[in-house]
A and B are shown apart, each in its own frame.
Chain A
Amino acid sequence: MARPLRIWPALITLLTAIAIEVMPLPEVLQPFRPSLPAMALIYWTMMRPERFGLLLAFTLGIVLDILHGQLMGQNALALCVVTYITVRFHLQIRIFPLWQMTMTVLALLTLAAAVQFLVEGIAGYGLSGLRRWPAIISGTLLWQPVMALLDRVRMQSETHASNF
Protein backbone atom coordinates (compact mmCIF):
# COMPACT_ATOMS: atom_id res chain seq x y z
CA MET A 1 0.00 0.00 0.00
CA ALA A 2 1.95 2.85 -1.36
CA ARG A 3 -0.75 5.44 -0.88
CA PRO A 4 -3.23 4.69 1.83
CA LEU A 5 -5.35 7.68 0.91
CA ARG A 6 -6.57 7.76 -2.58
CA ILE A 7 -7.58 11.00 -4.14
CA TRP A 8 -9.69 9.78 -6.97
CA PRO A 9 -12.84 8.81 -5.03
CA ALA A 10 -12.98 12.34 -3.69
CA LEU A 11 -12.27 13.85 -7.09
CA ILE A 12 -14.92 11.76 -8.78
CA THR A 13 -17.55 12.68 -6.20
CA LEU A 14 -16.59 16.33 -6.48
CA LEU A 15 -16.79 16.23 -10.29
CA THR A 16 -20.20 14.58 -10.05
CA ALA A 17 -21.30 17.29 -7.66
CA ILE A 18 -20.08 19.96 -10.09
CA ALA A 19 -21.96 18.26 -12.94
CA ILE A 20 -25.16 18.26 -10.88
CA GLU A 21 -24.54 21.88 -10.01
CA VAL A 22 -24.70 22.97 -13.67
CA MET A 23 -27.23 20.38 -14.84
CA PRO A 24 -30.33 22.03 -16.26
CA LEU A 25 -33.32 21.82 -13.92
CA PRO A 26 -36.88 23.00 -14.37
CA GLU A 27 -37.23 26.62 -13.38
CA VAL A 28 -39.37 25.78 -10.35
CA LEU A 29 -36.71 23.52 -8.86
CA GLN A 30 -33.73 25.77 -9.54
CA PRO A 31 -33.83 27.69 -6.26
CA PHE A 32 -33.81 24.40 -4.36
CA ARG A 33 -30.71 22.99 -5.97
CA PRO A 34 -28.40 22.24 -3.04
CA SER A 35 -24.76 23.20 -3.25
CA LEU A 36 -23.48 19.64 -3.56
CA PRO A 37 -19.87 20.67 -4.32
CA ALA A 38 -19.74 22.54 -1.01
CA MET A 39 -21.26 19.56 0.82
CA ALA A 40 -18.87 17.07 -0.74
CA LEU A 41 -16.01 19.41 0.11
CA ILE A 42 -17.15 19.66 3.73
CA TYR A 43 -17.34 15.87 3.90
CA TRP A 44 -13.90 15.17 2.48
CA THR A 45 -12.09 17.88 4.41
CA MET A 46 -13.79 16.73 7.59
CA MET A 47 -12.90 13.08 7.07
CA ARG A 48 -9.47 13.50 5.48
CA PRO A 49 -8.13 16.91 6.51
CA GLU A 50 -4.57 15.69 6.11
CA ARG A 51 -5.19 15.20 2.41
CA PHE A 52 -7.82 17.70 1.33
CA GLY A 53 -7.58 21.23 2.48
CA LEU A 54 -7.91 24.83 1.48
CA LEU A 55 -6.11 24.45 -1.82
CA LEU A 56 -8.80 22.06 -3.00
CA ALA A 57 -11.47 24.44 -1.73
CA PHE A 58 -9.90 27.33 -3.62
CA THR A 59 -9.60 25.38 -6.86
CA LEU A 60 -13.16 24.10 -6.61
CA GLY A 61 -14.35 27.63 -5.92
CA ILE A 62 -12.63 29.03 -9.02
CA VAL A 63 -14.14 26.24 -11.14
CA LEU A 64 -17.61 27.07 -9.83
CA ASP A 65 -17.06 30.79 -10.41
CA ILE A 66 -16.14 30.19 -14.04
CA LEU A 67 -19.06 27.84 -14.65
CA HIS A 68 -21.52 30.17 -12.95
CA GLY A 69 -20.15 33.30 -14.57
CA GLN A 70 -19.70 34.92 -11.18
CA LEU A 71 -16.91 37.15 -9.99
CA MET A 72 -13.72 35.12 -10.01
CA GLY A 73 -12.91 34.33 -6.39
CA GLN A 74 -16.38 34.67 -4.94
CA ASN A 75 -17.05 30.96 -4.46
CA ALA A 76 -13.37 30.41 -3.77
CA LEU A 77 -13.42 32.76 -0.80
CA ALA A 78 -16.66 31.31 0.57
CA LEU A 79 -15.44 27.73 0.28
CA CYS A 80 -12.04 28.60 1.81
CA VAL A 81 -13.72 30.08 4.88
CA VAL A 82 -16.00 27.05 5.23
CA THR A 83 -13.13 24.63 4.75
CA TYR A 84 -11.01 26.44 7.29
CA ILE A 85 -13.68 25.98 9.94
CA THR A 86 -14.22 22.37 8.93
CA VAL A 87 -10.52 21.54 9.08
CA ARG A 88 -10.03 23.44 12.30
CA PHE A 89 -12.84 21.61 14.09
CA HIS A 90 -12.87 18.35 12.16
CA LEU A 91 -12.22 16.23 15.24
CA GLN A 92 -15.25 17.65 17.03
CA ILE A 93 -17.57 17.64 14.00
CA ARG A 94 -16.69 14.07 13.11
CA ILE A 95 -17.95 12.66 16.42
CA PHE A 96 -21.04 14.83 16.65
CA PRO A 97 -24.34 12.98 16.73
CA LEU A 98 -26.02 13.09 13.36
CA TRP A 99 -28.49 15.87 14.12
CA GLN A 100 -25.75 18.03 15.56
CA MET A 101 -23.59 17.43 12.51
CA THR A 102 -26.53 18.37 10.29
CA MET A 103 -26.90 21.60 12.24
CA THR A 104 -23.20 22.27 11.73
CA VAL A 105 -23.62 21.77 8.01
CA LEU A 106 -26.56 24.18 8.09
CA ALA A 107 -24.32 26.74 9.76
CA LEU A 108 -21.49 26.15 7.27
CA LEU A 109 -23.76 26.42 4.23
CA THR A 110 -25.30 29.59 5.65
CA LEU A 111 -21.82 30.98 6.20
CA ALA A 112 -20.84 30.23 2.60
CA ALA A 113 -24.01 31.97 1.38
CA ALA A 114 -23.35 34.91 3.69
CA VAL A 115 -19.82 35.39 2.33
CA GLN A 116 -21.17 35.37 -1.22
CA PHE A 117 -23.94 37.76 -0.26
CA LEU A 118 -21.37 40.09 1.24
CA VAL A 119 -19.22 39.96 -1.89
CA GLU A 120 -22.22 40.69 -4.10
CA GLY A 121 -23.13 43.62 -1.91
CA ILE A 122 -19.63 45.10 -2.00
CA ALA A 123 -19.32 44.57 -5.74
CA GLY A 124 -22.64 46.35 -6.19
CA TYR A 125 -24.45 43.55 -8.01
CA GLY A 126 -28.10 42.75 -7.64
CA LEU A 127 -28.53 41.02 -4.29
CA SER A 128 -29.79 37.49 -4.04
CA GLY A 129 -31.08 38.04 -0.50
CA LEU A 130 -33.73 35.65 0.71
CA ARG A 131 -33.53 33.59 -2.46
CA ARG A 132 -30.46 31.83 -1.10
CA TRP A 133 -32.36 30.15 1.72
CA PRO A 134 -34.16 27.37 -0.22
CA ALA A 135 -30.82 25.96 -1.38
CA ILE A 136 -29.38 26.07 2.13
CA ILE A 137 -32.41 24.27 3.57
CA SER A 138 -32.45 21.61 0.85
CA GLY A 139 -28.72 21.10 1.32
CA THR A 140 -29.17 20.57 5.05
CA LEU A 141 -32.02 18.12 4.50
CA LEU A 142 -29.91 16.21 1.98
CA TRP A 143 -26.85 16.06 4.22
CA GLN A 144 -27.67 12.67 5.72
CA PRO A 145 -28.17 10.77 2.45
CA VAL A 146 -25.19 12.54 0.89
CA MET A 147 -23.02 11.63 3.85
CA ALA A 148 -24.19 8.01 3.79
CA LEU A 149 -23.30 7.83 0.11
CA LEU A 150 -19.90 9.45 0.52
CA ASP A 151 -19.17 7.23 3.56
CA ARG A 152 -19.80 4.22 1.40
CA VAL A 153 -17.55 5.54 -1.37
CA ARG A 154 -14.81 6.26 1.14
CA MET A 155 -15.05 2.86 2.89
CA GLN A 156 -15.03 1.03 -0.42
CA SER A 157 -12.03 2.83 -1.76
CA GLU A 158 -10.09 2.55 1.46
CA THR A 159 -10.67 -1.16 2.01
CA HIS A 160 -9.77 -1.77 -1.61
CA ALA A 161 -6.65 0.27 -1.21
CA SER A 162 -5.51 -1.80 1.74
CA ASN A 163 -6.24 -5.03 -0.12
CA PHE A 164 -3.77 -4.22 -2.81
Chain B
Amino acid sequence: MALTTVDREPGQFRNASPGLQLIILGVIAIVLMVLDHRNEYLTGVRKGLSVLLYPVEVLVSAPFDLSKTLSESITTRDELQAENRRLREEALIRSASLQRMAALEAENARLRALLDSTAKVGEDMLIAEIVSVDMNPFRNMVVVNRGGQDGVYVGQPVIDADGVVGQITRDRHYTAEAMLLTDIDHAIPVEIARNRLRSIAVGTGELDRLSLPFLPGNADVREGDLLVTSGLGGKFPPGYPVATVQQVSSVTGQPFLDIDATPAAALNRMREVLLIKPDDQVGPDQTSAADAAPEQP
Protein backbone atom coordinates (compact mmCIF):
# COMPACT_ATOMS: atom_id res chain seq x y z
CA MET B 1 0.00 0.00 0.00
CA ALA B 2 1.35 3.33 -0.97
CA LEU B 3 1.67 4.81 2.41
CA THR B 4 2.85 7.97 1.36
CA THR B 5 5.09 10.67 2.35
CA VAL B 6 3.28 12.72 -0.26
CA ASP B 7 0.38 12.98 2.12
CA ARG B 8 2.55 14.47 4.76
CA GLU B 9 4.10 17.27 2.83
CA PRO B 10 1.60 20.09 3.17
CA GLY B 11 1.93 20.34 6.92
CA GLN B 12 5.44 21.40 7.81
CA PHE B 13 4.80 20.85 11.48
CA ARG B 14 3.90 17.23 10.97
CA ASN B 15 7.28 16.50 9.46
CA ALA B 16 9.05 17.54 12.62
CA SER B 17 10.07 14.73 14.91
CA PRO B 18 7.55 13.81 17.62
CA GLY B 19 9.98 14.98 20.28
CA LEU B 20 10.19 18.46 18.83
CA GLN B 21 6.43 18.55 18.40
CA LEU B 22 5.97 17.57 22.03
CA ILE B 23 8.29 20.32 23.21
CA ILE B 24 6.60 23.00 21.09
CA LEU B 25 3.04 21.96 21.95
CA GLY B 26 3.95 21.37 25.57
CA VAL B 27 5.33 24.89 25.88
CA ILE B 28 2.23 26.30 24.17
CA ALA B 29 0.00 24.34 26.56
CA ILE B 30 1.93 25.57 29.59
CA VAL B 31 1.83 29.18 28.39
CA LEU B 32 -1.92 28.83 27.83
CA MET B 33 -2.41 27.44 31.31
CA VAL B 34 -0.39 30.20 32.94
CA LEU B 35 -2.26 32.88 30.99
CA ASP B 36 -5.58 31.26 31.78
CA HIS B 37 -4.80 30.92 35.45
CA ARG B 38 -3.12 34.25 36.19
CA ASN B 39 -4.89 36.71 33.99
CA GLU B 40 -8.05 37.37 32.13
CA TYR B 41 -6.31 37.42 28.75
CA LEU B 42 -7.94 34.25 27.52
CA THR B 43 -11.52 35.11 28.45
CA GLY B 44 -12.29 36.14 24.89
CA VAL B 45 -10.58 33.13 23.32
CA ARG B 46 -12.37 30.79 25.67
CA LYS B 47 -15.68 32.43 24.98
CA GLY B 48 -15.12 32.11 21.24
CA LEU B 49 -14.21 28.44 21.50
CA SER B 50 -17.17 27.81 23.80
CA VAL B 51 -19.48 29.31 21.22
CA LEU B 52 -17.90 27.01 18.60
CA LEU B 53 -18.50 24.01 20.86
CA TYR B 54 -22.04 25.06 21.73
CA PRO B 55 -23.48 22.68 19.07
CA VAL B 56 -21.79 19.74 20.80
CA GLU B 57 -23.55 20.62 24.03
CA VAL B 58 -26.86 21.07 22.28
CA LEU B 59 -26.45 17.71 20.52
CA VAL B 60 -25.52 15.87 23.68
CA SER B 61 -28.31 17.34 25.76
CA ALA B 62 -30.89 17.00 22.97
CA PRO B 63 -31.96 13.39 23.73
CA PHE B 64 -32.38 14.24 27.40
CA ASP B 65 -34.40 17.35 26.63
CA LEU B 66 -36.44 15.36 24.15
CA SER B 67 -37.26 12.67 26.69
CA LYS B 68 -38.33 15.40 29.08
CA THR B 69 -40.53 17.01 26.44
CA LEU B 70 -42.00 13.63 25.55
CA SER B 71 -42.78 12.72 29.13
CA GLU B 72 -44.39 16.15 29.48
CA SER B 73 -46.50 15.80 26.37
CA ILE B 74 -47.81 12.31 27.14
CA THR B 75 -48.95 12.97 30.67
CA THR B 76 -52.66 12.29 31.05
CA ARG B 77 -55.34 14.83 31.62
CA ASP B 78 -55.90 13.55 35.13
CA GLU B 79 -52.30 13.98 36.05
CA LEU B 80 -52.26 17.46 34.64
CA GLN B 81 -55.37 18.38 36.55
CA ALA B 82 -53.95 16.99 39.75
CA GLU B 83 -50.73 18.89 39.22
CA ASN B 84 -52.65 22.01 38.38
CA ARG B 85 -54.66 21.72 41.59
CA ARG B 86 -51.53 21.18 43.63
CA LEU B 87 -49.80 24.17 42.07
CA ARG B 88 -52.83 26.38 42.64
CA GLU B 89 -52.88 25.45 46.32
CA GLU B 90 -49.17 26.08 46.54
CA ALA B 91 -49.54 29.44 44.85
CA LEU B 92 -52.32 30.36 47.26
CA ILE B 93 -50.23 29.49 50.28
CA ARG B 94 -47.23 31.34 48.88
CA SER B 95 -49.17 34.46 48.05
CA ALA B 96 -50.72 34.42 51.52
CA SER B 97 -47.29 34.38 53.10
CA LEU B 98 -46.16 37.02 50.63
CA GLN B 99 -48.86 39.35 51.92
CA ARG B 100 -47.28 39.17 55.33
CA MET B 101 -43.88 39.62 53.71
CA ALA B 102 -45.01 42.86 52.12
CA ALA B 103 -46.12 44.22 55.48
CA LEU B 104 -42.91 43.09 57.13
CA GLU B 105 -40.84 44.61 54.37
CA ALA B 106 -42.59 47.95 54.77
CA GLU B 107 -42.06 47.81 58.52
CA ASN B 108 -38.43 46.89 58.01
CA ALA B 109 -37.91 49.82 55.66
CA ARG B 110 -39.55 52.17 58.19
CA LEU B 111 -37.40 50.94 61.04
CA ARG B 112 -34.30 51.18 58.91
CA ALA B 113 -35.25 54.72 58.00
CA LEU B 114 -35.54 55.49 61.74
CA LEU B 115 -32.10 54.01 62.29
CA ASP B 116 -30.82 55.96 59.30
CA SER B 117 -29.30 52.88 57.69
CA THR B 118 -29.55 51.93 54.03
CA ALA B 119 -32.54 49.88 53.03
CA LYS B 120 -32.10 46.45 51.55
CA VAL B 121 -32.44 46.75 47.80
CA GLY B 122 -34.76 44.69 45.66
CA GLU B 123 -33.50 42.10 43.23
CA ASP B 124 -34.23 41.00 39.70
CA MET B 125 -34.43 37.32 38.85
CA LEU B 126 -33.63 35.46 35.67
CA ILE B 127 -34.83 31.88 35.29
CA ALA B 128 -32.27 29.49 33.80
CA GLU B 129 -32.22 25.77 33.16
CA ILE B 130 -29.38 23.41 33.88
CA VAL B 131 -28.03 22.04 30.59
CA SER B 132 -27.86 18.24 30.52
CA VAL B 133 -24.11 18.19 30.10
CA ASP B 134 -21.59 16.90 32.61
CA MET B 135 -18.52 18.92 33.42
CA ASN B 136 -15.31 17.98 35.11
CA PRO B 137 -16.18 15.03 37.38
CA PHE B 138 -13.84 16.29 40.07
CA ARG B 139 -15.49 19.64 40.45
CA ASN B 140 -19.04 20.56 41.37
CA MET B 141 -19.94 22.63 38.38
CA VAL B 142 -22.93 22.89 36.08
CA VAL B 143 -23.77 24.63 32.83
CA VAL B 144 -26.85 26.86 32.73
CA ASN B 145 -28.63 27.80 29.54
CA ARG B 146 -28.23 31.54 29.97
CA GLY B 147 -25.11 33.45 29.14
CA GLY B 148 -23.66 36.85 28.43
CA GLN B 149 -26.30 37.51 25.81
CA ASP B 150 -28.96 37.40 28.54
CA GLY B 151 -27.00 39.69 30.83
CA VAL B 152 -25.40 36.96 32.92
CA TYR B 153 -22.12 38.08 34.48
CA VAL B 154 -19.30 36.37 36.29
CA GLY B 155 -19.90 36.29 40.04
CA GLN B 156 -23.67 36.36 39.71
CA PRO B 157 -25.38 34.46 42.54
CA VAL B 158 -27.43 31.40 41.58
CA ILE B 159 -30.28 30.12 43.76
CA ASP B 160 -33.09 27.62 43.44
CA ALA B 161 -36.45 27.37 45.18
CA ASP B 162 -34.85 26.15 48.43
CA GLY B 163 -31.66 28.09 48.78
CA VAL B 164 -28.34 29.22 47.40
CA VAL B 165 -26.89 27.03 44.64
CA GLY B 166 -23.63 28.76 43.81
CA GLN B 167 -22.30 31.43 41.53
CA ILE B 168 -21.48 31.99 37.88
CA THR B 169 -17.79 31.45 37.25
CA ARG B 170 -17.51 31.71 33.51
CA ASP B 171 -19.57 33.28 30.79
CA ARG B 172 -19.87 31.33 27.53
CA HIS B 173 -22.11 33.82 25.76
CA TYR B 174 -24.99 31.40 25.08
CA THR B 175 -24.48 29.44 28.26
CA ALA B 176 -22.56 29.98 31.47
CA GLU B 177 -20.63 27.83 33.90
CA ALA B 178 -21.74 27.91 37.51
CA MET B 179 -19.75 26.66 40.46
CA LEU B 180 -21.87 24.97 43.12
CA LEU B 181 -21.31 25.99 46.70
CA THR B 182 -20.13 22.48 47.52
CA ASP B 183 -17.18 22.77 45.14
CA ILE B 184 -13.91 22.24 46.88
CA ASP B 185 -12.74 25.74 45.91
CA HIS B 186 -15.93 27.52 46.94
CA ALA B 187 -16.55 29.39 50.17
CA ILE B 188 -19.56 31.46 51.08
CA PRO B 189 -19.99 33.91 53.97
CA VAL B 190 -22.92 32.77 56.13
CA GLU B 191 -24.52 33.59 59.43
CA ILE B 192 -26.60 31.46 61.73
CA ALA B 193 -30.17 32.67 61.42
CA ARG B 194 -30.85 32.10 65.12
CA ASN B 195 -28.12 34.31 66.59
CA ARG B 196 -26.45 36.02 63.61
CA LEU B 197 -23.16 34.36 64.41
CA ARG B 198 -21.09 34.76 61.30
CA SER B 199 -18.77 32.30 59.64
CA ILE B 200 -17.74 30.88 56.29
CA ALA B 201 -19.13 27.71 54.74
CA VAL B 202 -16.58 25.86 52.65
CA GLY B 203 -17.36 23.26 50.01
CA THR B 204 -16.18 19.70 50.47
CA GLY B 205 -16.52 18.34 46.93
CA GLU B 206 -19.50 16.24 48.00
CA LEU B 207 -22.88 17.47 46.81
CA ASP B 208 -24.58 16.98 50.18
CA ARG B 209 -22.04 18.41 52.58
CA LEU B 210 -20.61 21.79 53.49
CA SER B 211 -18.13 22.36 56.25
CA LEU B 212 -17.70 25.27 58.68
CA PRO B 213 -14.07 25.10 59.71
CA PHE B 214 -13.67 28.49 61.38
CA LEU B 215 -15.92 28.43 64.46
CA PRO B 216 -14.16 28.25 67.85
CA GLY B 217 -14.96 25.57 70.42
CA ASN B 218 -17.23 27.79 72.49
CA ALA B 219 -19.34 29.04 69.58
CA ASP B 220 -23.09 28.77 69.95
CA VAL B 221 -23.94 26.30 67.18
CA ARG B 222 -26.52 23.57 67.40
CA GLU B 223 -27.61 20.80 65.11
CA GLY B 224 -30.50 21.97 62.97
CA ASP B 225 -29.41 25.62 62.91
CA LEU B 226 -30.23 27.34 59.64
CA LEU B 227 -27.37 29.10 57.90
CA VAL B 228 -28.27 32.07 55.70
CA THR B 229 -26.09 34.28 53.54
CA SER B 230 -24.67 37.12 55.56
CA GLY B 231 -24.14 39.46 52.65
CA LEU B 232 -20.55 40.10 53.64
CA GLY B 233 -18.16 39.90 50.74
CA GLY B 234 -20.67 41.61 48.51
CA LYS B 235 -21.35 38.70 46.18
CA PHE B 236 -24.42 37.09 47.67
CA PRO B 237 -27.32 39.23 48.84
CA PRO B 238 -28.06 38.68 52.54
CA GLY B 239 -30.80 36.45 53.90
CA TYR B 240 -30.95 33.52 51.50
CA PRO B 241 -30.89 30.07 53.12
CA VAL B 242 -27.66 28.18 52.48
CA ALA B 243 -27.60 25.06 54.62
CA THR B 244 -28.74 23.36 57.79
CA VAL B 245 -26.21 22.33 60.41
CA GLN B 246 -26.10 18.55 60.41
CA GLN B 247 -23.48 17.68 62.93
CA VAL B 248 -21.35 19.54 65.44
CA SER B 249 -18.41 17.81 67.01
CA SER B 250 -15.44 19.13 68.88
CA VAL B 251 -12.15 17.35 68.62
CA THR B 252 -10.14 17.48 71.82
CA GLY B 253 -7.08 19.60 71.35
CA GLN B 254 -8.40 21.35 68.29
CA PRO B 255 -9.27 25.05 68.66
CA PHE B 256 -12.06 24.91 66.10
CA LEU B 257 -15.27 22.94 65.95
CA ASP B 258 -15.85 20.34 63.27
CA ILE B 259 -19.20 21.27 61.73
CA ASP B 260 -21.02 19.60 58.83
CA ALA B 261 -23.98 21.23 57.12
CA THR B 262 -26.41 20.03 54.45
CA PRO B 263 -27.07 22.48 51.62
CA ALA B 264 -30.63 23.76 51.50
CA ALA B 265 -30.81 23.68 47.70
CA ALA B 266 -31.42 20.37 45.94
CA LEU B 267 -28.04 20.38 44.28
CA ASN B 268 -28.29 16.99 42.60
CA ARG B 269 -31.92 17.16 41.58
CA MET B 270 -32.45 20.71 40.42
CA ARG B 271 -33.36 21.53 36.84
CA GLU B 272 -34.32 25.16 37.04
CA VAL B 273 -32.37 27.80 38.88
CA LEU B 274 -32.70 31.54 39.39
CA LEU B 275 -29.94 34.01 38.65
CA ILE B 276 -30.18 36.98 40.99
CA LYS B 277 -29.36 40.42 39.71
CA PRO B 278 -29.06 42.88 42.56
CA ASP B 279 -30.32 46.34 41.61
CA ASP B 280 -27.39 48.61 40.69
CA GLN B 281 -26.13 48.79 44.25
CA VAL B 282 -24.64 45.43 45.12
CA GLY B 283 -26.62 43.58 47.76
CA PRO B 284 -25.13 43.84 51.22
CA ASP B 285 -25.89 46.79 53.44
CA GLN B 286 -22.53 47.99 54.58
CA THR B 287 -23.84 49.80 57.63
CA SER B 288 -25.12 46.82 59.52
CA ALA B 289 -22.01 44.88 58.57
CA ALA B 290 -19.81 47.57 60.08
CA ASP B 291 -22.03 47.91 63.15
CA ALA B 292 -22.23 44.22 63.92
CA ALA B 293 -19.93 42.60 66.43
CA PRO B 294 -16.70 40.97 65.27
CA GLU B 295 -16.94 37.42 64.07
CA GLN B 296 -15.94 35.57 67.18
CA PRO B 297 -17.93 35.94 70.39
Contacts and interface: CB of A to CB of B under 8 A. Distances in A.
A55 B25 contact: yes
- State the majority secondary structure of interface residues on B: helix
Interface string A116-140: 0001000101101001100100000
A76 interface: yes
B207 A66 contact: no
Nearest to A78: B29
Contact of B268 (A3, A27, A58, A69): A27
Contacts, number: 134
Interface stretch (A15-23, A91-99, A102-110): A15-23
B216 to A, nearest CB: 25
B220 interface: no
Interface residues of A, number: 50
Nearest to B61: A24
A9 interface: no
Given A19-B56, A27-B268, 16 more contacts: A4-B3, A18-B56, A22-B133, A22-B134, A33-B134, A51-B7, A61-B29, A63-B53, A66-B49, A72-B45, A73-B36, A77-B30, A81-B26, A87-B18, A119-B33, A125-B184
**List of 6 A-B pairs having minimum Cβ-Cβ separation, nearest first:** A126-B184, A73-B32, A128-B138, A73-B29, A77-B29, A73-B33
21 contacts: A4-B3, A5-B3, A15-B56, A18-B56, A22-B60, A50-B8, A58-B29, A69-B136, A71-B36, A71-B37, A72-B35, A73-B29, A73-B30, A77-B30, A80-B22, A84-B21, A88-B19, A125-B184, A126-B138, A126-B183, A162-B1
Interface of B: 1-4, 7-8, 11, 13-14, 18-19, 21-22, 25-26, 28-33, 35-37, 42, 45-46, 49-50, 53, 56-57, 59-61, 64, 132-139, 141, 169-170, 177, 183-185, 205, 207, 268
